[in-house]
Amino acid sequence: MSARLRRWGGILGVVLLVAAVPVATRTRSANADLGDCSAAYLVDEVLANGARWQMCWEPKTYKGVVLHNVTYTPVGGQPVEVLFEAYLAQIHVPYDNNGARFHDVSDYGLGGANFDTLVGDDCPNGTLLDDGGTDIICQTEAPTGYAAKDYDHVRQGTSLNLFSTSCIGAYCYVVSWNFDDDGTIRPEVGATGSLQLYGGTNRTGWQTGPDHFGTVAVAHMHNFYWKLDFDVDGTDNDRVEELEATFTPGSNRSQLTNTRRQLATESARRVSPTTFRSWRVRDTVTRNAENHPISWELVPGTDHIFRGPERFTQNEVYVTTQNTCEDFASHNPTTGGCGAQAAAYVNGEAVTDPVIWYGTSFHHLPRDEDEEHMHPHWSGFSIIPRDLTADNPSD
C-alpha cells in the first residue's frame, strides 16, 4: 500500500452502508473535515461486531500522541465524526509535602525522544505503529466482556485500544485510548514506573522502608487533563449541554428532576457526583431515525477531587470555544493572546466550536507494593454516544 494514501473522504466513500439499523438519517455536512494523513499515521479498524473507528495520529514533541478527526461508524450505519482533535493536555503532580509540583506535559514533554520505544513484550497480541522507524503505539482489539446480557440474549464486545508510553523521571505514563464497538471512547492514563520522592513522615506519605533508607515515600496527586475538541458530525452546529438530576423540591428527597442546560458561553464547571452531572455535545441539526439529536456525552470517572492553589485545579471541566493556541491545561505559552492555564480560557466567548477540558485526579498514597516497580494505577473517564442510533446497533 502506498504511504501516500488517499484522503479519508476516499476511504469513507467505500464504507459499506447497510441500513440494517436506523442511524443518523442525514447526509454528511459538506464542511466535515475527514482528516488528511498518510497510511503510516492512519488508524482504520473494523471491530468484530462490524463497527469501525478511523482517525489520524500525530506524534508531537510535547503533547505526545495527538488524535485527529476521530470518526465512528456504527454497525450498518454511516460514519460520524466525533472529535476533531484529542490529546492529554497536562499531567500535574503536586506532592503532599509541597516538595515538588510537576507539570509533566508542558515542562518535560510526552513525545519526541521521551516516547518510550515499544517492543513485542509491550504489545502482546497487538500491532506496533512506528514513527520514522521507532515503534511508539500499540494497537490492539481487545475483548470488553458483555456488550449485552438479557436472559439468553448474549453479545460480547470488543474495543480498539491505542496506547503509547512516556517515562518522565521515575514515572512511566501509559497514555491509552479505548474505542469501543458501541461508540464509547474511554481515555485513560496508567501511572507506573517507580516512586519519585521520599522524605518526611506519615503525615505526608507512607512508610515504605526499609528498602529506601527506612523513610517515607511522599504521597502525591496525579491530576490528568485532556483537551477534547468535539466536532459532532462536523464542526458546525454543535452545542454543549450540562445534564444533571437534583431532588425535586417538595418531594422530601423522594423524586429526582432531570435537567439539561445549554452552556452557550465559556464556562468553568465542577463535577458533582451527588447530582450525577455530565456534559454532552450535541448536533443541533443531525438527528437519528427517531428524530433525536445525536450527541456524545462526557461522563466523569473519578471520586478523587483536588482543588489546590493553582487556579486550573478549581474546576474539573472547562467548556471553551476552540482556540489553536490554547494547548495545555497549565503552563500554556501565553502567545497568540492565549491564557496561561485553562481557567483563563473561560473569558466570555460564545461556544461556537466546543472544546471540553476535563481533569481527573488520583491521590497516590504509596504502599509497600509500589517498590521497586509499581503496578499501573489508572485514571480515566468515558465519552458515550447519546442518541446516535435509534436502537442498540449491536443487537
Partner 1 sequence: MRTPNRRVVTGVALATIGLTAAGFTIAGAQSDDSPRGTDPLSAAELDAAVAQAPGSGSGPAEAGGLGADDVVLLVERHDEEKGTSTDARRADVWVYSYDDDVLHQSVVDVTTGRVDSTRTVRNVQPPLVEEEADRAIEIALADTELSRQLATAYRQATGRDLTDLATDVIVEPIVFRADSNPATTGDARQCGRHRCAQLLMRSTDDLLVNLLPIIDLSAGTVVSRTGFFQ
Residues forming the site for partner 1 (CB under 8 A): 2-4, 7, 35-38, 40-41, 56, 58-62, 68, 84, 97-104, 106-109, 111-117, 131-132, 134, 136, 167-170, 194-199, 212-213, 229, 235, 309, 322, 324, 331, 333-335, 353, 372-373
Distance CA 374, CA 171 (A): 9
Q: Is 214 left (phi over 0), alpha (psi -120 to 50) or beta?
A: left
Residue 208, sorted as left (phi over 0), alpha (psi -120 to 50) or beta, turns out to be: alpha
* Strand 374-380 with 185-193, pairing: antiparallel
Cα atoms in the Cβ-side hemisphere of radius 13 Å centred on 283? 29
C-alpha angle 190/196/201, rounded to 5°? 115
Helix (H, G, I), strand (E, B) or coil at 113: helix
| Cell 467548556 sits on residue | 319
Name the minimum Å distance from CB 149 to partner 1. 40
Helix (H, G, I), strand (E, B) or coil at 391: coil
Q: To the nearest whole angstrom, how small is the minimum distance from the Cβ of residue 297 to partner 1?
A: 23
Nearer to partner 1 among residue 25 and residue 97 (C-beta): 97
β-partners of residue 87 are: 227
Q: How far is the CB of 176 from partner 1 (least distance, A)?
A: 19
The least CB distance from residue 36 to partner 1, in Å, is 3
- Check: CB of residue 97 under 8 Å from CB of residue 204: yes
Q: How far is the CB of 193 from partner 1 (least distance, A)?
A: 9
DSSP codes joined into one string, 66-112: EEEEEEEE-TTS--EEEEEEEEEEEEEEEBTTSS-EEEHHHHT-SSG
CB nearer partner 1, residue 156 or residue 314? 314
Q: List helix spans (H) across the chain.
A: 8-13, 104-107, 342-345
- For residue 340, the minimal CB distance to partner 1 (Å) is 9
- Whichever of 198 and 276 has its CB closer to partner 1, that residue is 198
Listed residue (379, 383, 384) closest to 175, CA to CA: 379
Q: How do 220-230 and 354-364 pair as beta strands?
A: antiparallel
Min dist. Cβ of residue 207 to partner 1 (A): 15
Name the percent of the chain in helix, strand, coil, to the closest 5. Answer: 10, 50, 45
Report the nearest approach of partner 1 to the CB of residue 313 (Å). Answer: 12
In the complex, the smallest distance separating the C-beta of residue 40 from partner 1, rounded to whole angstroms, is: 7
Instruction: State yes or no: cis peptide before 210, omega within 30 of 0.
Output: yes
Contacts of 13 (CB under 8 A, 6+ apart): none
Rounded to a whole number of angstroms, the minimum distance from the CB of residue 127 to partner 1 is: 19
Closer CB to partner 1, 47 or 218, in the complex: 218
Closer of 101 and 155 to partner 1 (Cβ): 101
d(CA 344, CA 326): 10
Q: Decide: 55 and 43 in contact? Cβ < 8 Å.
A: yes
* Alpha carbon 100 to chain centroid, angstroms: 26
Residue closer to partner 1 by CB (options 30, 113) is 113
| Closest separation in Å from C-beta 118 to partner 1 | 12
